[in-house]
């Protein structure tokens, strides 16, 4: 049975459009309570990012869980990885995140963590979907779930983040610009970096419910780059709206994406003898990173785009490190999910131990030009468009022209109605031209 509502990262869409409606989320809360809540008397955590619709969906989920007889702990604004951590350490039956991650404020979504602080496998998501189809009922009044707000959620998560690097490390004298995307880390990330001794300059820490990811954060790091240069800072840290992505800026003003960060962490784990197995990337991971890892004796294994697939491979192989160019970095030797703050701390620790700047640590990676063109879908299914003969022929001709020095990837977005056209090769002008040619062929039939 295929999943109807769940995508690669929970259920996501435009607020007010099915299924991101109060009615559906109420039923979803009830269904999740039945499947994940550990039976009547179970415990589920709910956290959210800062978008205005979070209040509405928080209430709907709470009502659904209560009707299922499940107790709820409300966390308020909390990064996605913080909710994963608290779900695990508070021995909850599940954690629920209200967030659309890097999307604009008019989108929202619901995603879940199991009791171990990991994303749900497909079969459990299918069980929730099957329960949604059942008539909703309510337990009797004396068996209804109770709701409590967890007041110390922020402090617990801050202490956890700091504990992922040695306590003896002091970053006094280091100047850091931190951009929180007006999202869920606005009241957490600055405190973490200040408490380890750094001088912190903040951006994106004034959420108003509508400005999340708006020209700031990991999806728009240009403002951070300018501020790093203006302040003469040692580095910049950009997080996304729910805090699971990380993009950095070095002291020379160069933007460092997830591939750069993954290289730094791979070398760090190799230096300490902690490295185990391959690094797991995705089909979008730059060919330059693969070659750089090969030079230092490490392998790169590619999986489908999406941090859930990285996690699945890491877990299956008992490996520890993986990530995406977008900034999802998973350090399984430190936590159970992608965590922007924790990943940034690992980079800072490597800078501290080696005495090198971020720019110096990134030396060794010569990334190939990689162009990504997003083509909006109308009423066509992505799979149908990608199988059209003219599209297949355009991709085949382009691949033949590039030979072994490039690659082309067409894939549907897991979160938006788009087909993503990616072209990578040694010559930027040629890569741009080929990307536009293929994208134009896709547009013609969308």
| Contact by Cβ (8 Å): 287, 294 | no
Does the pLDDT of residue 40 top 90, yes or no?
Answer: no
- Contacts with 442 (C-beta within 8 Å, 6 or more apart), sequence order: 375, 385, 386, 391, 410, 419, 421
Does the pLDDT of residue 36 top 90, yes or no?
Answer: yes
Burial 157-166 (b: 16+ CB within 10 A, else e): bbebbbebbe
Q: Tell me: do 192 and 271 sit in the same domain.
A: no
- CATH code for the domain of 52: 3.40.120.10
Q: Tell me: do 379 and 399 sit in the same domain.
A: yes
Instruction: Write out pLDDT tens, residues 174-191.
Output: 999 999 999 999 999 999
Task: Give helix 153-162 / helix 80-89 axis angle, nearest 10°.
Answer: 100
E-assigned strand segments in 78-193: 94-98, 107-113, 147-149, 175-179
| Contact by Cβ (8 Å): 343, 331 | yes
Q: Tell me: do 45 and 145 sit in the same domain.
A: yes
Q: Tell me: do 15 and 122 sit in the same domain.
A: yes
Looking at per-residue confidence, does 2 or 288 come out higher? 288
Cα–Cα dist 32/16, whole Å: 21
| Contact by Cβ (8 Å): 350, 414 | no
- The answer to the question of residue 133 being in a domain is yes
pLDDT for position 444: 85
Does the pLDDT of residue 1 top 60, yes or no?
Answer: no
pLDDT for position 185: 98
Of 325, 340, 355, which residue sits at a domain end?
340
Averaged pLDDT for residues 427-439:
93
Confidence of residue 433 (pLDDT cuts 50, 70, 90): very high
> Into how many domains does the chain fold?
4
Averaged pLDDT for residues 195-204:
98
pLDDT for position 416: 78
pLDDT for position 374: 93
Q: Tokens representing 297?
A: 């004796």
- The answer to the question of residue 383 being in a domain is yes
DSSP state of 274: -
Of 117, 149, 181, which residue sits at a domain end?
149
Confidence of residue 154 (pLDDT cuts 50, 70, 90): very high
Averaged pLDDT for residues 202-231:
98
- The answer to the question of residue 424 being in a domain is yes
pLDDT for position 348: 98
Q: Tell me: do 329 and 280 sit in the same domain.
A: yes
Q: Is 357 a residue of the active site?
A: no
β-pair type (94-98, 107-113)? antiparallel
The proportion of the chain whose per-residue pLDDT surpasses 90, expressed as a percent, equals: 84
Highest mean pLDDT (candidates 283-297, 367-381, 392-406): 283-297
- The answer to the question of residue 164 being in a domain is no
- The answer to the question of residue 3 being in a domain is no
Q: What is the average pLDDT value for the chain, to the nearest integer?
A: 95
Q: Tell me: do 302 and 327 sit in the same domain.
A: yes
Averaged pLDDT for residues 160-164:
98
- The answer to the question of residue 435 being in a domain is yes
Averaged pLDDT for residues 39-49:
93
Confidence of residue 50 (pLDDT cuts 50, 70, 90): very high
Distance from the first to the final alpha carbon of the chain = 28
Q: Tell me: do 82 and 143 sit in the same domain.
A: yes
- The answer to the question of residue 161 being in a domain is no
pLDDT for position 2: 63
Does the pLDDT of residue 380 top 80, yes or no?
Answer: no
Averaged pLDDT for residues 404-417:
82
- Please report where in the chains the tokens 């869980």 appear, as a residue: 65
| Contact by Cβ (8 Å): 178, 190 | yes
- CATH code for the domain of 424: 3.30.310.50
- The answer to the question of residue 141 being in a domain is yes
406 lies in which domain range? 370-445
Q: Tell me: do 270 and 236 sit in the same domain.
A: no
Q: Tell me: do 397 and 441 sit in the same domain.
A: yes
Looking at per-residue confidence, does 401 or 320 come out higher? 320
Cα–Cα dist 137/25, whole Å: 15
Q: Tell me: do 112 and 28 sit in the same domain.
A: yes
Q: Tell me: do 176 and 272 sit in the same domain.
A: no
Query: Which position among 101, 115, 268, 326 bears the catalytic label?
Result: 101
The proportion of the chain whose per-residue pLDDT surpasses 70, expressed as a percent, equals: 99
Of 211, 234, 256, which residue sits at a domain end?
256
Averaged pLDDT for residues 53-81:
98
Q: Tell me: do 142 and 208 sit in the same domain.
A: no
Averaged pLDDT for residues 263-278:
97
């Amino acid at each position: 049975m295929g999943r109807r509502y769940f995508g690669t990262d929970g259920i996501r869409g435009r607020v007010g459009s099915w299924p991101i409606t109060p009615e559906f989320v109420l039923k979803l809360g009830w269904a999740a309570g039945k499947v994940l809540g550990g039976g009547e008397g179970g415990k589920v955590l709910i956290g959210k990012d800062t978008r205005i619709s979070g209040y509405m969906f928080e209430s709907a989920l709470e009502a659904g869980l209560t009707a299922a007889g499940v107790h709820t702990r409300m966390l308020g604004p909390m990064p996605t990885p913080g909710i994963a951590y608290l779900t695990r350490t508070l021995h909850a039956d599940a954690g629920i995140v209200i967030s659309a991650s890097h999307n604009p404020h008019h989108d929202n979504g619901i995603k879940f963590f199991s009791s171990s602080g990991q994303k749900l496998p497909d079969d459990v998501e299918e069980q929730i979907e099957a329960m949604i189809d059942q008539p909703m009922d309510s337990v009797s009044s004396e068996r209804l779930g109770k709701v409590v707000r967890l007041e110390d959620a922020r402090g617990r998560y801050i202490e956890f983040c700091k504990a992922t690097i040695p306590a003896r490390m002091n970053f006094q004298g280091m100047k850091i610009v931190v951009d929180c995307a007006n999202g869920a880390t606005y009241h957490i990330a600055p405190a973490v970096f200040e408490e380890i001794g750094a001088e912190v300059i903040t951006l994106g820490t004034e959420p108003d419910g509508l400005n999340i990811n708006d020209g700031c954060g990991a999806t728009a790091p240009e403002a951070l780059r300018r501020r790093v240069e203006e302040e003469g800072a040692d580095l910049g840290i950009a997080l996304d709206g729910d805090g699971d992505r990380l993009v950095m800026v070095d002291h020379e003003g160069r933007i460092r994406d997830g591939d750069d960060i993954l290289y730094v962490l791979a070398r760090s784990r190799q230096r300490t003898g902690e490295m185990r197995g391959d690094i797991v990337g995705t089909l979008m991971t730059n060919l330059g990173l693969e070659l750089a890892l090969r030079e230092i004796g490490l392998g790169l294994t590619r999986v489908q785009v999406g941090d859930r697939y990285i996690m699945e491979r890491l877990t299956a192989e008992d490996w520890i490190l993986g990530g995406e160019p977008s900034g999802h970095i998973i350090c399984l030797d430190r936590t159970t999910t992608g965590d922007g703050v924790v990943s940034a701390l690992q980079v800072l620790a490597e800078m501290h131990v080696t005495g090198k700047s971020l720019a110096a640590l990134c030396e060794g990676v010569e990334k190939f030009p990689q162009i990504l063109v997003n083509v909006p879908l109308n009423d066509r299914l992505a799979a149908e468009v990608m199988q059209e003969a003219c599209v297949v022929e355009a991709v085949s001709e382009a691949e033949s022209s590039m030979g072994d020095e490039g690659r082309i990837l067409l894939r549907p977005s897991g979160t938006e109605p788009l087909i993503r056209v990616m072209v990578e090769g040694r010559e930027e002008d040629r890569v741009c031209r080929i990307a536009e040619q293929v994208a134009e062929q896709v547009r013609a039939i969308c």
